[in-house]
Amino acid sequence: MLRRTILKTAAAIALAANMGNVVGAELAGSVNYIIPFGPGGESDISARFQQPFFKEKFKQDLVISYQPGGGGAVGWASLNGLSGNGQTIMGVNLPHIVIKPAQKDVGFTTADLNTFYMFHYTPDAIVVTADSPYQTLDDLIADAKANPGEVTMSGSGKASANHLAQIKFDKLAGILTTYVPFKGTGAAVTALLGKQTKAEWGYTTVGAKQGDAVRMLAVAMDERHPLFPDVPTFKELGYDMTGGAYRGIALPNTADAATTRMWSDMIGEINSDEAFRQQMLDGGFAMLDVGIDDMADFMAARVEEYLDDARKAGLIK
Amino acid sequence: MQVRLYSRFAGRHRGEFALELSQFLAAITPFNIALALFGVVAGTVVGSIPGLTATMALAVLVPVTFSMEPASALILLGAIYTGAIYGGAYAAILLNTPGTPSAIATTFDGYPMAKRGDGDLAVAIACFASVFGGLVGALSLLLLAPPLSKVALAFGPVEYFWLSIFGLSLIASLSNGNLVKGLTGGAFGMLLSTVGVAEISADIRLTFGSQTMIGGFGVVGALIGLYCIPVLIDLVAVPDRHLKVEENVKSVRIGDAFRLTLRSKFNLIRSSVIGTLVGILPGAGGSVAGLVAYSEAKRTAKPDQNFGEGEPDGIMATESANSATVGGGFIPTLVLGIPGTPPDAIVLGALLVQGVRTGPAMFTQSGSIVYTFIYGLLIATILMLPAGLLIGRYAYKSIVTIPKAVLVPAVGFMTIIGTFSIRNSVSDVIIMLCLGVFGWVVARFGFAASPIVLGLILGPIAEQGFVQGWTIGAATNNLFGMFFGRPISQGILLFTLITLVLPLYLARKKRKAAMEAK
Which residue in B209, B349, B468 is closest to A48 by CB distance? B349
User: Which residues from chain A sit within 8 angstroms of residue B197, using beta carbons?
Assistant: 69-71, 73, 106
pLDDT digits (tens, 9 = 90+) for B70-100: 888 888 999 999 999 999 999 999 999 888 8
Residue B275 located in a structural domain: yes
Q: How many domains does chain B have?
A: 1
pLDDT at B19: 65
Residue B301 lies in a domain: yes
How close A292 comes to chain B (CA, Å)? 27
Please tell me which of the candidates B215, B353, B358 has its beta carbon nearest to residue A51.
Answer: B353
Assess whether the previous peptide bond of A95 is cis (omega < 30° from 0): yes
The predicted structure's pLDDT at residue B58: 87
Between chains, do A180 and B344 touch, taking CB under 8 Å as contact? no
Is B7 within a domain?
no
Q: What is residue A22's predicted lDDT score, i.e. its pLDDT?
A: 43
State pTM to two decimals: 0.87
What pLDDT does B245 receive?
Answer: 66
Provide the shortest C-alpha distance from residue B181 to chain A (in Å). Answer: 30
- Which residues, in sequence order, are CB contacts of B386 under 8 Å at separation 6+? none
d(Cα A70, Cα B214) in Å, to the nearest integer? 6
Contact list, A211 vs chain B (CB under 8 Å) = 357, 359-361
Partner residues linked to A250 by β-bridges: A90, A115
| Domain encompassing residue B52 | 16-241+251-517
Give the per-residue pLDDT at A17.
45
- Domain assignment present for residue B8? The answer is no
CB pairs under 8 A between A and B: 179
Mutate to test the interface with B, among A62, A164, A183 (most CBs of B within 10 A): A183
Radius of gyration of chain B (CA): 23
pLDDT, position B498: 86
Residue A28 φ then ψ, to 5°: -115, 40
Average of per-residue pLDDT values in chain B: 86
**What is the C-alpha to C-alpha distance for residues B151 and B160, in angstroms, rounded to an integer?**
12
- Residue A197: closest C-alpha in chain B: B472
Q: Rounded distance, CA B426 to CA B214, Å?
A: 13
Alpha-carbon distance A241 to nearest alpha carbon in chain B (angstroms): 24
Whether residue A178 and residue B472 make contact (CB cut-off 8 A), yes or no, is: yes
Give the number of residues written for chain B: 518
- pLDDT for res A8: 56
Q: Which residue of A has its CA nearest to B65?
A: A52
Asked if the structure places residue B10 within a domain, the reply is no
Rounded to whole angstroms, what are the CA distances from B248 to B117, B244, B245, B251, B252? 11, 12, 8, 9, 12
Residues A221 and A233: beta-carbon distance below 8 Å: yes
Q: What are phi and psi for residue B387, nearest 5 degrees? A: -65, -45
Q: Are A253 and A112 in contact (CB under 8 A)?
A: yes
Whether B9 is in a domain gets the answer no
Per the CB < 8 Å rule, is A67 touching B424?
A: yes
Q: A244: left (phi > 0), else alpha (psi -120 to 50), else beta?
A: left
Q: Which of A249, A261, A271, A250 is nearest to A24 (CA)?
A: A261
Domain with CATH 3.40.190.150 in chain A: 2-121+244-312
Just give the CATH number of A123-219.
3.40.190.10
A103 contacts chain B (CB < 8 A): yes
**How close is the nearest chain A Cα to the Cα of B341, in Å?**
9
pLDDT for A21 equals 42
Low-confidence ranges of chain B (pLDDT < 70): 1-20, 175-177, 245-252, 359-360
A178–B471 CB contact, under 8 Å? yes
Neighbours of A122 (CB within 10 A): 26
- Residue B319: what pLDDT? 96
Residues of chain A with pLDDT under 70: 1-24
Closest A-chain CA to B218 = A69
| CATH fourth-level superfamily of A2-121+244-312 | Bordetella uptake gene, domain 1 (3.40.190.150)
**Angle at the Cα of A190 from the Cα atoms of B358 and A248, rounded to 5 degrees:** 65
CATH 3.40.190.10 maps onto chain A at: 123-219
In a domain, B2, yes or no: no
Q: Report yes or no on B505 lying in a domain.
A: yes
B422-432 pLDDT, tens digit per residue, is 777 888 899 99
Read off the pLDDT of residues B121-142 as tens digits, 9 standing for 90 and up.
999 999 999 999 999 999 999 9
